[in-house]
Chains A and B, each alone.
Chain A
Amino acid sequence: MRRRAVPPGRLRRRLAIAFLLVGGLSAAVLAAGSYLLVRHNQLGDSVDTALRQARSNLEIAPTYLRRKDGEEKLLAALERRGEFETIVVSGHRSFSSSFSVSPRAVPADLRQLVAKGQLAWERTRIGEEHVVAVGGRSGPTQLYFFFSEQDVWDELGRLRATLLAGLGLVALLSALTGALLARGLLAPVARASAAARSLAEGLLETRLPVERADEFGSWAASFNEMATALEAKIEALSQAEARERRFTADVAHELRTPLTALVAEASLLAEHLERIPAEARRPAELLVSDVRRLRRLVDDLMEISRLDSGAESVLAEPVDLAALVASTVRARGWDDVDVFAHPLVLTTDPRRVERIVGNLIQNAVEHGRGHVTVRVERDDRSAIVDVLNDGPGIPPEQLPHVFERFYKSDPSRSSQGSGLGLAIARENARLLGGDISVRSTPGEGARFTFRLPVTEPLRPSEDAVAATQHDGTRQTEKETS
């Protein structure tokens, strides 16, 4: 089973983002609200002050304007009244309190409103400076006052900067808090995940620390109970399996001595069959063939218990797989087996390969309707031996069991084999670093695929030395220079 690829820390990131959103948004609303409020008040105050001053200025204006050249005097008088600049427009003439302000600084809308006789104001700029321009009429004369608002705007700017910095800080702190909280909260989950993984990898003694009295704590306790139960179960199973294997090995071992005597005796008997009286000859023949059958079974049992014990070694040498398969088929006298093979040389243990291929073909012959095809192929990484038969095939529900020991698809059918052939073939294949797989379509036969990985580049067989030819003779060696 493959673990689904969930990037670690995704939940933690989500929590941090949620905290960031909540904290950051609240802070932003608060900051924006207070900024707008302050701005509104400050700017309102500034206009009120300007209007008050303007009204007062307008009140004293007529006194000066009645006089000759009253505009100049008015300007002089106003200059003493406060921090503002004044423009007096009288007919086509205009007077300024400072060079920095000219009648052009008066916005057109304001000028229109003033012309209608209203006291009006407008925010504008003189150069870079924020000002409130207030205009009013005193008789035919228009007066415009410019009150600097720069301080207010500067202050608002500072306030904005401060609020933004604060907002950023709050957002950062929320995110950090979220991440830290999430880590603290999710640490048990990460530990449990690691523990489950190590359990899956076979470290059955893995347990979780139960250090909290919350839901995670009770979860960890349950996890540990499960792990303990699992460990006990697996331990029991592997002990049972080890006992079973030891028993098999012991039985095979104990059978060997009497079997050796039997095999030797039967082989001697076989040499003299024709001299045995007729009435005893048939039983003697049966005895000889049954001893051979028993020998095959015990040989297979011994081989599988050797493979189980892990004591088997691999004697690798350069092998031409195609030639080996062909000679195996010839040596066993299988006439209805077709071999399609291109020379393919690799370094492996020829005896084990012979055993694997022999068992696969034996199985295919036994379960087929008479015709078996063997193909030797290769791909980028493996040498492949495919063994196909034309038999009734294997039902899908039996496919996973065909490599089990003594598995018989049809218990009523007696087989010539030991019932260990495929199991031995697969164990040997795995010993060589390969494996065997099976596919079958019921009614159309079965295909067993022996795959043997090759680490070296595959060579054509010209380099092969003393490869066994199809007629069983050997090629003389060719010297590799």
Chain B
Amino acid sequence: MNERLLLVEDDASIREVAALGLEQAGFRVTTSGDGREGLLQFRRAPFDLVVLDVMLPSLDGFEVCREIRRDSRVPIVMLSARTDTVDIVVGLELGADDYVTKPFELAELVARVKAALRRSAGIQAEQIIELGPIQIDPAAFRAHRGGEEIALTATEFRLLLELARRPGQVFTREILLELVWNYEYLGDSRLVDVAVQRLRGKIEDDPAHPKLIKTVRGVGYRLDVPE
């Protein structure tokens, strides 16, 4: 353990208690109460995960998320109010890995953080999977197309890997939530839909007419190996 977390949250009480809870769970937590300052801190030191509130002074959580995603695949967990369902989707589209809705119990936040870290922790001793021009290297946690690396987040990589391990098989959203996000309860299937959209945008030639990741209407998704 002892992973380093960056917590960006403007409300002092929430910031303090969340930091306290995460520290008690064994993480080293750096806090910031401001979007711009949080981004500066992120660039100053390496972090294993970022917990990011949406409503932040100076630079909101979406902007911070977008900035971080420019050059980092660090897992990001957004803190979002359930009143703003749009927030959740926007955050996920910007590359957040997961979200926790306010109010939250600390056990839930800790569980989500741990799950996101596990996803990014690499998968040992698995062979490289070839999908036509795309090569997936589980050990290196990287995917390449024609020798060039595809910039995937940890969640996107896990999603691609799970689908690619059993090509042709249909995965329901629930199963994917379990396999990729480690959710053992009814999660939000939008997590899956948005992540699939993002993944298609990075690996499909024409994301509007996907050849690799097919939607199975009313059921879920399936990955087809190209001829």
Interface residues of A (CB under 8 A from B): 252-253, 256-265, 267-268, 271, 295, 298-299, 302, 305-306, 311-313, 315, 317-318, 347, 350-351, 354, 465-466, 468, 474, 476-477, 479-480
Contact = CB atoms under 8 A, between A and B. Distances in A.
Given A260-B102, A267-B106, A477 B172 contact: yes
B186 A350 contact: yes
Contacts of A466: 172, 174-175
A13 B8 CA distance: 79
A256 B83 contact: yes
B11 interface: yes
Nearest to B106: A267
Interface string B91-132: 000000000001111110100000000000000000000000
A36 B83 CA distance: 94
Contacts of A468: 186
A479 B81 CA distance: 36
B54 interface: no
A302 B83 contact: yes
B106 A264 contact: yes
B172 A263 contact: no
B83 A264 contact: no
Interface of B: 11, 13-14, 17-18, 20-21, 24, 81-83, 85, 102-107, 109, 169-175, 178, 186, 189-190, 216, 218-220
Contact of A264 (B17, B174, B178): B17
Contacts of B109: 264
Contact of B220 (A258, A298, A347, A465): A465
25 contacts: A256-B81, A256-B103, A261-B17, A263-B105, A264-B17, A264-B18, A264-B103, A264-B109, A265-B17, A267-B105, A268-B17, A268-B24, A268-B106, A271-B107, A299-B103, A317-B218, A318-B219, A350-B186, A351-B186, A465-B219, A466-B172, A466-B174, A466-B175, A474-B174, A477-B170
Given A253-B83, A480-B219, A260 B104 contact: yes
Contacts of A351: 186
Given A261-B13, A318-B218, 20 more contacts: A253-B83, A257-B14, A257-B102, A260-B103, A262-B103, A263-B103, A263-B105, A264-B106, A267-B105, A267-B106, A268-B17, A268-B24, A295-B103, A315-B190, A465-B220, A468-B186, A474-B178, A476-B175, A477-B170, A480-B218
